[in-house]
Amino acid sequence: MKASDLLSPGIMNNSQHLRIECAKAISRHEIRKINGAPYDNVLELFFADCVSRLQALNVISVTGVSVAPTAATLTVAAPTVQLTPTVTPANAANKSVTYSTSNAAVATVSGTGLVTRVANGTAVITVTTVDGGRTATSTITCTA
């Protein structure tokens, strides 16, 4: 495996930051390994380099998420509700979330958290953090 294999495209979460920083460190130290430096020395240098790079990043991981409202009723007259996620801690590096519905035949949800009534019934909308996969739910009841 090459150091560059550890890199992945797309939105970077904390594990991706770790892979990138370690890949950079590996790239710098692979040359020493090839030139005959003792393995233990290369490993020690590699880990020291990784630790210093990660400390420099000061990446704050997501520890939780909540969503408001936690429940709502949608009707033909008022067919939408906007969900608002709150990611903790407030200074988390990646506060991105995704949304999913348990029942698209009853209610759909957009990428921005706008829930739209489709038919009568109940659906649970789940908000998931990109970093850490933390979840929160909102129960949506759709009536006439």
Rounded distance, CA 37 to CA 45, Å? 11
Q: How far apart are CA 137 and CA 122, in angstroms?
A: 13
Residue 18 is predicted with a pLDDT of 63
Report the alpha-carbon angle 57-58-61, nearest 5.
115
Distance CA 121, CA 15 (A): 39
Q: Exposure of 98 by Cβ count < 10 A (0-12 exposed, 13-18 middle, 19+ buried)?
A: middle
Q: Which tokens sit at 136?
A: 């929160």
Select from 62, 63, 69, 64 the least CA-distant residue to 125: 69
Mind giving me the DSSP string for 17-42?
HHHHHHHHHHHHHHHHHHTT--HHHH
User: How buried is 76 (Cβ within 10 angstroms: 0-12 exposed, 13-18 middle, 19+ buried)?
Assistant: exposed
Query: How do residues 115-138 score in pLDDT, each as one tens digit?
Result: 999 999 999 999 999 999 999 999
pLDDT of residue 91: 87
Q: In the chain, how long is the greatest CA-to-CA distance?
A: 75
pTM over 0.85: no
Per-residue pLDDT tens, the chain, 144 aa: give them.
334 444 444 444 555 666 666 666 666 555 454 455 555 565 666 667 766 666 666 678 899 999 999 999 999 999 999 999 999 999 888 899 999 999 999 999 999 999 999 999 999 999 999 999 999 999 999 999
Domains and CATH numbers, the chain: 3-57 (no CATH), 64-142 (2.60.40.1080)
